[in-house]
Amino acid sequence: DADVTQTPRNRITKTGKRIMLECSQTKGHDRMYWYRQDPGLGLRLIYYSFDVKDINKGEISDGYSVSRQAQAKFSLSLESAIPNQTALYFCATSDRTSGRDNNEQFFGPGTRLTVL
């Protein structure tokens, strides 16, 4: 079984709809991240969380919100989806016991979101 799972894998929605992307992990990691990937732009950080009570904005958090329901679950919401939020979204995890020099992040398979 995959250590980091994302649901759904693909989603097509319409402008103005509320969308939730879910991420679950069985790695026991405390840190979780949400990124979006756009062609030619690499990955950009939306939100990150170090534990259930510690949630932080990344570089492109406008239009998004998150919820850390448990150590293993981190959800990303688009309150009112717009077409320029069409992208590939990745969840990632890392382990607090690793220092900054070992900040290897483990990625889920991604969710491809299309907003019409």
Partner 1 sequence: AQSVTQLGSHVSVSEGALVLLRCNYSSSVPPYLFWYVQYPNQGLQLLLKYTSAATLVKGINGFEAEFKKSETSFHLTKPSAHMSDAAEYFCAVSRMDSSYKLIFGSGTRLLVRP
| Min dist. Cβ of residue 110 to partner 1 (A) | 6
Note whether 34 and 23 are within 8 A (CB).
yes
Interface positions with partner 1 (CB under 8 A): 4, 31, 33, 40-45, 48, 50, 56, 58, 90, 92, 94, 100-105, 107-110
**Whole-number Å distance between alpha carbons of 104 and 114:** 29
Q: Please, which residue, 45 or 72, has the CB nearer to partner 1? A: 45
Q: Exposed (0-12), middle (13-18) or buried (19+): which is 107, by Cβ within 10 Å?
A: middle
**Whole-number Å distance between alpha carbons of 82 and 33:** 22
**Whole-number Å distance between alpha carbons of 110 and 7:** 8
| Min dist. Cβ of residue 79 to partner 1 (A) | 24
| Min dist. Cβ of residue 109 to partner 1 (A) | 5
Q: Which two tokens stand for residue 91?
A: 């969840």
Q: Please, which residue, 38 or 79, has the CB nearer to partner 1? A: 38
Q: Please, which residue, 67 or 107, has the CB nearer to partner 1? A: 107
Q: Please, which residue, 34 or 81, has the CB nearer to partner 1? A: 34
